[in-house]
Amino acid sequence: MAKRRSARKGVLDWWQTVLDETKDLVDDGIGRLRDDDDDNELHTDISDLKKAVAELNAKLDRIAAEKK
């Protein structure tokens, strides 16, 4: 019977660890989403990325037109 309790306790300890780590992960994610300081930087990064994608598309269009 002691082995059974020990195995059960091991599973419960493991499950508690999983729950704690999951809660920490969710809390960190929420904290990052709420961080207002990065909003400006994020908008700048998105604008830069859109510009880079547009330039890449234009370059690909030029290359495709040259091959025709």
Looking at the predicted structure, is the pLDDT value of residue 2 above 90? no
- The pair of structure tokens assigned to 64 is 């495709």
pTM of this structure: 0.42
CA dist list (Å): 37 to 6, 33, 45: 48, 10, 14
Give the domain ranges of the chain.
Answer: 1-35, 39-68
DSSP structure string for 5-63? HHHHHHHHHHHHHHHHHHHHHHHHHHHHHH-THHHHHHHHHHHHHHHHHHHHHHHHHHH
Predicted confidence at residue 36, as pLDDT, reads 61
- Name the more confident of 1 and 8: 8
* Mean pLDDT over the full length of the chain: 84
- Name the more confident of 25 and 68: 25
pLDDT digit string (tens) for 12-39? 899 999 999 999 999 988 888 777 666 6
Tell me the chain's radius of gyration from C-alpha atoms: 26
